[in-house]
Structure 1
Amino acid sequence: MFSLELLGILLPALVAGLAIGLTHAPLGIEVLRRGIIFIDLAIAQIAGLGLVVMELYWPDAAGWLLQAVAVACALAAALLFHWSERRLPAQQEALIGSSFVVAASLALLLLADQPHGGEAIQHLLSGQLLFVGWSELTLTVPLYALVLLAWFVWPRVRAGIGFYVLFALAVTASVQLAGVYVVFASLILPALAAAAWPGRTLAVAWASAAMAVLAGLTAALLLDWPAGPVLVVSYALVALAVALPRWRRTGRSRPAEND
């Protein structure tokens, strides 16, 4: 049974996890449709690299400046990937994957000699969602709301550079709350589950994300396990449970489409 203390920890983490999952679901469906699967890893890692640089060389920088640098790095990556989509479409996925590897390697090099470098890398990759407080949510939840509003009220924003800008803004906020691994899982796995249910992709992706967050955070809190890895496994198990019956019936999955 939950104590009030455990409930006080779970509630902000649950709000953050649900906000991430519900915002990432339509973005993930679009990523899967475009076939640029690793763009989330690349942009999240590049935004994280900007944070690593700031924390190393400007440790006393104001919070707004850290956010500005992370957003600037993510937007720069988004512009690069938009350019590659128009000029080098055949090489775009290779460029995205290479960008992730280079950004991750630079972060490792920068933190190699730092006393708490291992802890910083773990935080970047796995996040600390159970330690999220209401103060962080007052900044990120309105951003998620704006991304969803733009996505559904102005569908034309999904085309061209608008998709990349919205994607960069959402991922920048998410990687600071939940880490690179959860960002990838929350974008791709609900969309992959939803691909098995054409015509209901968005509803299925949203339901899958919500179930994964509820189950994962509850398990992490009760078992005293790190939330990031537990959430990734939870996303995978829920996606498998949602898609497998459909795959067994149809014998194949179909490309996801935006509802």
Structure 2
Amino acid sequence: MTLGTLDLTIILPAFLAGLLVLATHIPLGAQVLKRGIVFIDLAIAQIAALGVIVAGSGDLDPQGWAVQVAAGIAALLGALLLTWTEKRWPDVQEAQIGVMFILAATGGLLLVAHNPHGGEHLQDLLAGQILWVRYQQLLAPLLGTVLIGAVLYFFNERLSRLGFYLIFALAVTASVQLVGVYLVFTSLIVPSLAVRHYADGKRLPLAYAVGAGGYLAGLVLSTLLDLPSGALIVWCLTALAILVYAAGPKPQAQRQAH
């Protein structure tokens, strides 16, 4: 396939799905870095994926509301558990997040062990099937994005730990089934890493530009080269983030400016 024969009807809904994910994940990712709980997104995303696997074992429609609810409940329970562990053992919270991720990941492996299509389903949840997203799948994530975006806009600095974890869980629940666990982590962390030394007023616009550029480049290249979209978007987004970081102010210069 060449650029002249590129099918925009496939790429556009996938790109819109990426923008929906970025809309909430970039501000949440900045908070994750600020709070020093980088791997919380992987843990909660994996827990949400586990909820999808559990619901799927009951022969439910993978795109149905029942699966969405199951993923949401699983993610919310994970968020509540992380809130409790942070209060109980705050000095090892990052380690506890890692343990939760491993338990959720291996729990998913055990649940699909006897399913002939289990490996394929697990791969879809990890790497995602963003290139095959259709417009009708974007309605629920759009509503969730508007709600979460409003909460972050009006209450961002006033969110308690529990409030942050719950909002985070809801955001991750919707995005895992759209783009997969790998892209959830990348969308949250990589743009914020790229712009962390820029001036405050430039960080958010640049982070969105990095995210949108990475998604668009990855989708176009995956279509042209017939490569897995999710994996290629991760690499494109990361490469663009490295360029933006390299072109930005250095940490020492930033400290001297202050």
Q: What TM-score do you get using the length of structure 2 for normalisation?
A: 0.91
Write the distance in 2 (CA, Å) between the matches of 1:114 and 1:78: 28
- Consecutive unaligned residues of structure 1, counting only runs of 5 or more, are 255-259
- Consecutive unaligned residues of structure 2, counting only runs of 5 or more, are none
Write the distance in 2 (CA, Å) between the matches of 1:58 and 1:167: 28
Q: Which residue in the other structure is 1:37 paired with?
A: 38
In 2, are the aligned partners of 1:174 and 1:183 still within 8 Å (CA)? yes
Q: How far 1:246 moved relative to its partner? A: 2.8
Question: Does 2:59 correspond to 1:84?
Answer: no
Write the distance in 2 (CA, Å) between the matches of 1:165 and 1:157: 14
Q: Deviations over 1:156-212 (max 9, x none)?
A: 553332211111111000000010000000000001011121423222211211111
Following superposition of structure 1 onto structure 2, how do residues 105-254 of structure 1 map, counting pairs within 5 Å?
Answer: 105-199=106-200, 200-246=202-248, 249-250=250-251
Write the distance in 2 (CA, Å) between the matches of 1:239 and 1:203: 13
Shift of the 9–163 alpha-carbon distance from structure 1 to 2, 3 Å rule, reads same
In 2, are the aligned partners of 1:123 and 1:179 still within 8 Å (CA)? yes
Q: Which amino acid aligns with 1:86?
A: K
In 2, are the aligned partners of 1:150 and 1:157 still within 8 Å (CA)? no
The alignment partner of 1:234 has SS state of helix
Identity among equivalent positions (%) equals 45
Query: How large is the RMSD of aligned CA atoms in angstroms?
Result: 1.9
Q: How far 1:79 moved relative to its partner? A: 0.9
Q: How far 1:74 moved relative to its partner? A: 0.3
Write the distance in 2 (CA, Å) between the matches of 1:173 and 1:67: 7
Q: What TM-score do you get using the length of structure 1 for normalisation?
A: 0.91
Q: How far 1:155 moved relative to its partner? A: 2.9
The alignment partner of 1:154 has SS state of helix
The alignment partner of 1:57 has SS state of coil
Q: Which residue in the other structure is 2:27 paired with?
A: 26
In 1, are the aligned partners of 2:195 and 2:245 still within 8 Å (CA)? yes
Q: Which residue in the other structure is 1:9 paired with?
A: 10
Q: How far 1:112 moved relative to its partner? A: 1.9
Write the distance in 2 (CA, Å) between the matches of 1:211 and 1:253: 26
Following superposition of structure 1 onto structure 2, how do residues 64-79 of structure 1 map, counting pairs within 5 Å?
Answer: 64-79=65-80
